């Protein structure tokens, strides 16, 4: 029985490495599972914003697990996506932090461009709908909990899913050609915008532009995912603090 299980695992690994259909199926499974969790559990928790946020976090964690399983089946590690957990020397750390600050500026600038685009479309500036974060207003314990959650699920998780996984896997479907990488950047950005549907149309457009800046940066920094994780973390921190101090309407993630 164990031998049969090992044979099945090896067969799945070979399929993921050689079969375009299996590779497309892997991408589909990652997002279908998340969608099923969000739709199913979302109905159970109702309109409670905190509970709905928790459902999204659970969905993201499941996506990360499936991505990790795909790597394991292929005989690959996180390094395949440009994610190393080894201690780096001081020079590398400094370079990574400086690059993350530059990427942060680029992502914020991209969101501003998205806001301008929305203003031209609807005629008046429109802000993303951030009312789902109203539970953070003046609630310090919840702010600390939310920051811990978004660092793991959003800052880390979304970069793993929407940049590392999605860009690499789509590019591999195109045999790693330059055109495939460019298409992967565009598709990942569109998907990233669409998954923020609960932010409203303005939020989807702005996060789509932000995703484009992060996706391009991923290739520019030679797929060093920590650069993007840190940059995303800066934006998440600003968002959480904005929700804590302000009225529940914000701009960035």
- Alpha-carbon distance of 107 to 122, in angstroms, equals 23
If one compares 55 and 127, the residue with the highest pLDDT of the two is 55
Give me the pLDDT at residue 250, please.
Answer: 39
Domain termination residue (choose one: 52, 76, 100): 76
Q: Tens digit of pLDDT for each residue in 200-211?
A: 888 899 999 999
150 & 225 share domain: yes
Q: Tens digit of pLDDT for each residue in 51-84?
A: 888 888 899 999 999 999 999 999 999 999 999 9
User: Is residue 224 one of the residues assigned to a domain?
Assistant: yes
Give me the pLDDT at residue 253, please.
Answer: 41
Is the per-residue pLDDT at 215 higher than 90?
Answer: yes
Q: Which two tokens stand for residue 144?
A: 């600390």
229 & 110 share domain: yes
User: Average pLDDT, whole number, for the chain?
Assistant: 89
218 & 162 share domain: yes
Domain of residue 215 covers: 89-253
User: Is residue 170 one of the residues assigned to a domain?
Assistant: yes
93 & 185 share domain: yes
- Alpha-carbon distance of 17 to 22, in angstroms, equals 8
Q: Which two tokens stand for residue 239?
A: 């968002």
**Range of 83-87, 150-154, 164-168, 204-208 with top mean pLDDT:** 164-168
Give me the pLDDT at residue 4, please.
Answer: 65
Is the per-residue pLDDT at 126 higher than 50?
Answer: yes
Give me the pLDDT at residue 17, please.
Answer: 93
- Alpha-carbon distance of 141 to 146, in angstroms, equals 9
Is the per-residue pLDDT at 9 higher than 70?
Answer: yes
243 & 128 share domain: yes
Is the per-residue pLDDT at 216 higher than 50?
Answer: yes
Q: Within 13 A of 16's CA, how many CA atoms are on the CB side?
A: 21
Domain termination residue (choose one: 17, 45, 76): 76
Domain termination residue (choose one: 15, 41, 76): 76
Is the per-residue pLDDT at 247 higher than 60?
Answer: no
Give me the pLDDT at residue 124, please.
Answer: 59
User: Is residue 83 one of the residues assigned to a domain?
Assistant: no
User: Is residue 84 one of the residues assigned to a domain?
Assistant: no
Give me the pLDDT at residue 1, please.
Answer: 63
118 & 204 share domain: yes
Give me the pLDDT at residue 45, please.
Answer: 79
Number of domains in the chain: 2
**Range of 83-97, 128-142, 195-209 with top mean pLDDT:** 83-97
Which pLDDT band, with edges at 50, 70 and 90, does 125 fall under?
Answer: low
199 & 156 share domain: yes
User: Is residue 152 one of the residues assigned to a domain?
Assistant: yes
Q: Tens digit of pLDDT for each residue in 15-34?
A: 999 999 999 999 999 999 99
Give me the pLDDT at residue 243, please.
Answer: 86
Is the per-residue pLDDT at 10 higher than 50?
Answer: yes
Is the per-residue pLDDT at 249 higher than 50?
Answer: no
């Amino acid at each position: 029985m164990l031998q049969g299980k090992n044979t099945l695992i090896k067969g799945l690994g070979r399929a993921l490495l050689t079969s375009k259909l299996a590779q497309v199926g892997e991408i589909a499974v990652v997002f279908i599972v998340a969608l099923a969790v969000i739709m199913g559990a979302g109905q159970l928790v109702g309109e409670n914003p905190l509970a709905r946020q928790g459902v999204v976090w659970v969905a993201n964690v499941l996506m990360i697990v499936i991505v990790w399983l795909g790597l394991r089946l292929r005989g690959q590690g996180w390094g395949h996506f440009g994610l190393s957990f080894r201690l780096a020397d001081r020079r590398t750390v400094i370079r990574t932090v400086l690059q993350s600050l530059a990427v942060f500026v680029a992502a914020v600038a991209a969101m501003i461009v998205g806001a301008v685009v929305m203003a031209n479309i609807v005629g008046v500036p429109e802000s993303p709908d951030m009312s789902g974060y109203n539970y953070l207003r003046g609630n310090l314990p919840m702010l600390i909990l939310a920051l811990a959650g978004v660092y793991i699920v959003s800052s880390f998780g979304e970069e793993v899913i929407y940049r590392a996984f999605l860009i690499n896997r789509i590019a591999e479907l195109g045999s790693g050609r330059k055109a495939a990488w460019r298409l992967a950047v565009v598709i990942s950005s569109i998907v990233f915008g669409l998954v923020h549907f609960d932010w409203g149309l303005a939020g989807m457009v702005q996060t789509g532009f932000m995703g484009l800046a992060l996706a391009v940066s991923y290739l520019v920094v030679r797929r060093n995912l920590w650069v993007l994780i840190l940059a995303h973390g800066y934006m998440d921190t600003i968002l959480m603090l904005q929700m804590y101090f302000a009225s529940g309407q914000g701009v960035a993630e």
